[in-house]
Structure 1
């Protein structure tokens, strides 16, 4: 009797194990190197170049102010002995205030550029997430993981699961097509004038 009960229990457990193995599904997964995506994305490169140019323009304005300050500081050193101690103290105080103002202006410029570029890059990341989601649905992926410096969530994956280059091509193609649409719209507006 004990043997029969054990055999029935063993048979039930084997049957239940077979049911779970036949109902499990293999997931289709892939990953994207998010750092590489951002480095090789045309749109991200354009945003980076835009803010480098903007920083250069703003920096040139600040450099002109710094050059004037250095010129005044040099003349201060020459005139300090001839114009007396009272003049030197007053002028020295003014120069210190101007130097502080220049430092604050430089910090404000850097913060402004960081904030503006951060907003644009955040927007870009959100749009890329949408593209990745649509791509994952289109290709039938159950999961698409991210790897890279900014959001590493993969410790190991076979190279065959890497769809980074596909995604770079997709976002660059989308960016080019949007740019062409904008050019056509601008051309039509100019023709109407």
Structure 2
């Protein structure tokens, strides 16, 4: 029995050593996904697009808020002059409009988050495919992601391929952007008129 256990132990040790040798041939790398998204031109463009959209939508809402504030200020002045019944009715109206403005603001934020979330999710899927294709092309066995969702606790810096991937996605985005501009020129459409 001892001889069998010893033989099994030796066999498992041999197999483990063999696996260790095989593991030395693995080609691995990692990408700082947070840094990739920060440095990606397309990601920056999406962010800028929704900041601009928020300013436009917020500007419309700001005008409504300014009107409400003006009415609230005059309400306080006129409350004593017009009596308690008028003050209660006008106060209820102002309170209702304030709630509507709050709901409108929350709705606007939800809409912007949802729309930008859809675009960013699509971008992440695209980047995952780019990374997968890059890994296959370069012969990697594993490419890990670091950043906000850490899946690598330590890696030597020479395994970091973030810059290469960022350059690749930015070049690809710039090329596709130029293609879109050429299509617009062929159609005699100005960039501002694109949908």
Q: TM-score, normalised by structure 2?
A: 0.87
Taking the aligned partners of 1:13 and 1:105, their CA distance within structure 2 comes to 70
Structure 1 residues without counterparts, runs of 5 or longer: none
* Bigger Rg, structure 1 or 2: 1
Taking the aligned partners of 1:56 and 1:185, their CA distance within structure 2 comes to 29
Q: 2:22 aligns with which of 21, 24, 29?
A: 24
Instruction: After TM superposition, list the pairs within 5 Å mapping 1:145-164 onto structure 2.
Output: 145-149=144-148, 151-164=149-162
1:112 equivalent in structure 2: 111
Q: Call closer, same or farther: CA 1:86–1:137 in 2, change over 3 Å.
A: same
Aligned residues: 183
Taking the aligned partners of 1:68 and 1:18, their CA distance within structure 2 comes to 75
- Kindly indicate whether residue 176 of structure 2 is the aligned counterpart of residue 178 of structure 1: yes
Q: Match of 2:188, SS?
A: helix
Give the deviation of 1:24 after TM superposition.
Answer: 2.2
Give the deviation of 1:13 after TM superposition.
Answer: 5.1
Q: Match of 2:187, SS?
A: helix
- Kindly indicate whether residue 99 of structure 2 is the aligned counterpart of residue 100 of structure 1: yes
Taking the aligned partners of 2:140 and 2:19, their CA distance within structure 1 comes to 21
Q: TM-score, normalised by structure 1?
A: 0.88
Moved over 6 A (4+): none
Taking the aligned partners of 1:18 and 1:79, their CA distance within structure 2 comes to 87
Taking the aligned partners of 1:68 and 1:105, their CA distance within structure 2 comes to 15
